[in-house]
Structure 1
């Protein structure tokens, strides 16, 4: 029996374990965001939660306890896995394995580092809102600091992606046959995560200057992400049509789902800032149209990617079978993203447009779908963590490419 865990063979895709945990933190925050009052503020804070708990019935109180416990638990996992990755990543960069890795298509996987860092900062903001009393009174001072942090992460992402593009566009060597996946969209996801964090002040700040800077800078990351994703999707699909999808990296076929959720939230935040500070209010109809298009595209991508995963028997091999791949963590983000997008589609789209009554039967039916996706991803994270970080089992590890 093997004495090694799959995670003993390091891959930068393990940063996705941290990202997935951070995403689950967001899913629990959605409960607070849309289910409890937070008058005068775009998001709920500690005081709103305590007021809702004091005035709520037992069901409301239970919901608040579960939400806060979920946020705390997965935020801890987010930071714990980020620290583990940073330690392993630092040591891995000094090895011969890294030298070989940096000359392959997989070099772009290094963008999982800024992706995880940006997710951690976003998660940290949620922790502050939920657990720190009085935070809202000083939040305006925190926005510039957060923007500096996201800008630093964005510069790191640009540097890493620049190194990859600089190599393949001057030296060549990009293996188009091995690009039979959507792995090259990962950098777009990283830039999107930086952008959505950068856009937060646009939705939350009372300063037109801060909101304007937030909109301008986040737009750069929005467009950079969209350009990379569009090109990478075409190149990946071209290779898959000729060579078939790579079984090990097949979960990347679903990466567009979280990308769309993150970019969607980015655009909603920008639209809010435009309405509050610059008189450009597109209204509930525009929000409904945007969230509907994003959700419809996500469903189409899930059907496409799910078909390939089922045909390849991915779950039987990499979730319950003898093979392990760090890329399996790429399955968490799509489920998390679907849950979050369903909440925004329902609350910012259908409810505000007057199509669905808040807390009515239709409201809870759609909310149940979001919660089902959330619960499934909680289960998947626990399964993957046990397989990759738990007690060693006899299982072959598939190197990520």
Structure 2
């Protein structure tokens, strides 16, 4: 199931292959959702190694099975994430010496480079999850780690802004943006990257007991969330206009779903910020407000997912680029919405429906809705395995087409 990272793509490499690593990291998060919502962790916002071991030792057989599967899933997809991240870094360094890279830096596709900081931001999240799940005693020093996490995410954020500076500086100073080739939502990758940095910066706000750390976390994450929303709003309108005029780009059609993971990431960031306001700054908040917020976010995601599905089916995208013979690195953009919806449904059930008393924790209704998240997770795992076989088999070496 592991991808063959000995593949060398040369000039046919695309920065969109970072989305393969991003998807594996996202699946790591989906398995952590099991532990976050099912394992008791009193007095802490997240479960740690001791909580998980206690639940496994004292819990029922179904709980033990769930924890074992979550452990294996986290470890497996974290390893896959790291392997694909290192492969992408290596391929990108080679790609930077080619004429294809110079052409990319002077085209609409320059924004694809934002897939790199987007994925590295996910790597920081994956590292934190691995620490919580597998490192005993980590929570005793976690307050020292939060400032380091802020620095790490800020560094990734500065990297992302530097790439955006080059793109926007070139376009706004000299022009050259091809609106006719903007017929997708691929230009929203920068918004996705900024929102991923924002949700990472918001984590200390939700977990730290130090008001100053929570305050810095809140302020820094707010900047990147606002920046992401601005970029998303502008590029959403421009992309939709180009699609209505020229039709959507078949290879970039999965980008129509990119708004789904952006909404999940921003939604989680806002939940973290709300917790900080309530815990440190005496702001009012409750289960009803959280339920309302999650319902609106989930409704928007489903609406965009259905809209994008219409276009993908028109192009027979799945039959061509997933199970068929055509290859496009943009197909990995399909993984992010599956991860995002699985995560958001888990929050909706456990923090929303259970929080306001609409369903009982671990009751029948609870598992009926949770099954939706588990089904999405399973389909996304199948998608990752299928795409890895298609793109990372030795037969694909040097023959992968660029996405756009």
TM-score range, shorter chain: over 0.9
1:6 is displaced (CA, Å) by 8.9
Q: Which residue of 2 aligns with 1:237?
A: 240
Q: Which residue of 2 aligns with 1:304?
A: 307
Structure 2: distance between partners of 1:396 and 1:293: 43
Give the 3-state SS of the residue equivalent to 1:352 in structure 2: coil
Q: Residues 286-341 of structure 1, C-alpha deviation per residue, up to 9 Å, x if partnerless?
A: 10111000100000011000110001010111112221000000000000000000
Question: 1:35 and 2:17 equivalent?
Answer: no
Q: Which residue of 2 aligns with 1:283?
A: 286
Contact 2:33/2:343 (<8 A) preserved:
yes
Please give the TM-score of this superposition, normalised by the length of structure 2: 0.97
Structure 2: distance between partners of 1:322 and 1:394: 15
Superposition map of 1:354-365 within 5 A: 354-365=357-368
Structure 1: distance between partners of 2:141 and 2:211: 17
Superposition map of 1:238-253 within 5 A: 238-253=241-256
Number of aligned residue pairs: give it.
Answer: 398
Contact 1:19/1:116 (<8 A) preserved:
yes
**Distance verdict in 2 for CA 1:64–1:236, change over 3 Å:** same
Q: Which residue of 2 aligns with 1:220?
A: 223
Structure 1: distance between partners of 2:60 and 2:160: 46
Give the 3-state SS of the residue equivalent to 1:399 in structure 2: coil
Structure 2: distance between partners of 1:122 and 1:396: 33
Structure 1: distance between partners of 2:331 and 2:14: 12
**Distance verdict in 2 for CA 1:180–1:141, change over 3 Å:** same
Q: Which residue of 2 aligns with 1:330?
A: 333
Structure 2: distance between partners of 1:319 and 1:7: 19
Please give the TM-score of this superposition, normalised by the length of structure 1: 0.97
**Distance verdict in 2 for CA 1:5–1:145, change over 3 Å:** closer
Structure 2: distance between partners of 1:347 and 1:205: 22
Give the 3-state SS of the residue equivalent to 2:251 in structure 1: coil
Q: Report which stretch shifted further, 37-46 or 52-61.
A: 52-61
Q: Which residue of 2 aligns with 1:174?
A: 177
Structure 2: distance between partners of 1:304 and 1:361: 31
1:397 is displaced (CA, Å) by 3.6
Contact 1:323/1:396 (<8 A) preserved:
no
Q: Which residue of 2 aligns with 1:139?
A: 142
Contact 1:53/1:60 (<8 A) preserved:
yes
Give the 3-state SS of the residue equivalent to 1:70 in structure 2: helix
Structure 2: distance between partners of 1:39 and 1:320: 45
Give the 3-state SS of the residue equivalent to 1:249 in structure 2: helix
Contact 1:6/1:324 (<8 A) preserved:
no
Contact 1:199/1:214 (<8 A) preserved:
yes
Give the 3-state SS of the residue equivalent to 1:206 in structure 2: coil
Structure 1: distance between partners of 2:197 and 2:231: 14
Structure 2: distance between partners of 1:76 and 1:376: 20
Gaps of 5+ in 2: 1-5
1:168 is displaced (CA, Å) by 0.6
Contact 1:6/1:387 (<8 A) preserved:
no
Q: Residues 200-225 of structure 1, C-alpha deviation per residue, up to 9 Å, x if partnerless?
A: 00000000000000000000000000
Q: Residues 60-88 of structure 1, C-alpha deviation per residue, up to 9 Å, x if partnerless?
A: 11111100000000011111111111111
Q: Residues 253-282 of structure 1, C-alpha deviation per residue, up to 9 Å, x if partnerless?
A: 000000000000000000001100001132
Q: Which residue of 1 aligns with 2:320?
A: 317
Question: 1:88 and 2:91 equivalent?
Answer: yes
Contact 2:9/2:398 (<8 A) preserved:
no
Q: Residues 153-187 of structure 1, C-alpha deviation per residue, up to 9 Å, x if partnerless?
A: 00000000110000111110000000000001100
Q: Report which stretch shifted further, 175-184 or 281-290.
A: 281-290
1:356 is displaced (CA, Å) by 1.1
Structure 2: distance between partners of 1:100 and 1:194: 28
Task: Indicate the RMSD between aligned Cα atoms, in angstroms.
Answer: 1.4
